[in-house]
Amino acid sequence: MSSIEQDPNQPVASAPKSATKPFYWSVRKELWENRSLYIAPVMVAAVVLLGMIASSRHLPKLRQNALLLDPVHRRAAIEMPYDIAAMVILVTAFIVAVFYCLDALHSERRDRSILFWKSLPVSDLTTVLSKATIPLVVLPAVVFGIIVITQFIMMLISSVVLMPSGLSGTTWANYNLFQQSIILLYSLVVLPLWQAPIYGWLLLVSGWARRATFLWAVLPLIMIQIFEKITFGTSYFTSLLRHRLTGFAAEAFDFHGRSHPVVDSLSQLTATRYLTSSGLWLGLVVAAVFIFAAVRLRRYQGPI
């Protein structure tokens, strides 16, 4: 009987190992388990398009009236439906993000699936960061695609409706979809970063509260405002919350010389001022503290 002897100096070929990607698959898991993250914005976009189709019979008259205005007001009148559609979808996405964060860590303790996830070789840091990535990165990217597609379809509908009256070209001449898409993309980068402390706070409450996460997230903020008003007669905390919700606009855009806070030019984007804003970096530090606390909580929390 003959045997094949292997040269000891020859390297042994090892089977290729497919590297696991815990963070990537954790993010994918969140998308699989929370379909409302993209279904809700898509449904709102569909309602917007149906509303435009239903009211399209009035579009030729509205467009004729808009063409009688000066160039600035004409452009604003034509852009208004597209801006409203984007705003409605953005508000929907923010609401979805809020309730996602409130349920992100609470649901796994409620249905006891946390016992299963803790048995896997995925750290608490990876798990919490994957959940924080959803409102900060994934949802804005999804919303960007939905808004651009919705606005493009709206432009097609407008062109078809206005074609018999010979006004179909006025839509494309007065609404620059490419420029507006760049402004939208910029907005969807600066807005989540500015609101990061809000999402961090909601994740922390989600990992701590045993029930009624929404009340535990909102009531302390309301109580602080009431206490400050009664005790000191001031409303600094209220102003702080308002600034954290909408204050990004004053840092990220230039509205000087404009009667209304409208962004219709790339020259209004002030990325340098935004990136050097103390409010941005203080907010990111606070968000990091909240997320780190949520990681520590998840490490020691069990099922409800």
Note the pLDDT tens digit of each residue in 25-51. 889 999 999 999 999 999 999 999 999
Residue 168 DSSP symbol: T
Cα 177 to Cα 154: distance, rounded to the nearest angstrom: 11
What proportions of the chain, in percent to the nearest 5, are helix, strand and coil?
A: 75, 0, 25
Residue bearing tokens 């990165």: 137
Cα 276 to Cα 279: distance, rounded to the nearest angstrom: 9
Query: Over 60: is that where the pLDDT of 2 sits?
Result: no
Cα 204 to Cα 215: distance, rounded to the nearest angstrom: 13
Three-class secondary structure assignment of 213-272 = HHHHHHHHHHHHHHHHHHHHCCCHHHHHHHHHHHCHHHHHECCCCCCCCCCCCHHHECHH
Q: What is the pLDDT of residue 289?
A: 97
Cα 191 to Cα 274: distance, rounded to the nearest angstrom: 11
pLDDT band at residue 303 under the 50/70/90 scheme: confident
For residue 263, give the nearest of 187, 154, 190, 188 by alpha carbon: 187
pLDDT band at residue 8 under the 50/70/90 scheme: low
Q: What is the pLDDT of residue 256?
A: 77
102 vs 121 pLDDT, higher one: 102
Query: Over 70: is that where the pLDDT of 1 sits?
Result: no
Query: Over 60: is that where the pLDDT of 14 sits?
Result: no
Comparing 53-62, 148-157, 207-216, 255-264, the range with the smallest average pLDDT is 255-264
Cα 20 to Cα 22: distance, rounded to the nearest angstrom: 6
Q: Are 229 and 222 in contact (CB under 8 A)?
A: no
Q: Are 192 and 96 in contact (CB under 8 A)?
A: no
Cα 9 to Cα 280: distance, rounded to the nearest angstrom: 59
For residue 152, give the nearest of 228, 86, 57, 227 by alpha carbon: 86
How large a percentage of the chain has pLDDT more than 70?
91
The crossing angle, in degrees rounded to 10, of helices 22-33 and 36-54 is 50
Q: What is the pLDDT of residue 123?
A: 87
pLDDT band at residue 108 under the 50/70/90 scheme: confident
Cα 109 to Cα 49: distance, rounded to the nearest angstrom: 39
Q: What is the pLDDT of residue 129?
A: 94
92 vs 117 pLDDT, higher one: 92
Mean pLDDT, range 47-58, rounded to an integer:
92
Query: Over 90: is that where the pLDDT of 302 sits?
Result: no
Comparing 47-61, 80-94, 247-261, 264-278, the range with the smallest average pLDDT is 247-261
Q: What is the pLDDT of residue 20?
A: 59
Residue 106 φ/ψ, nearest 5 degrees: -75, -40
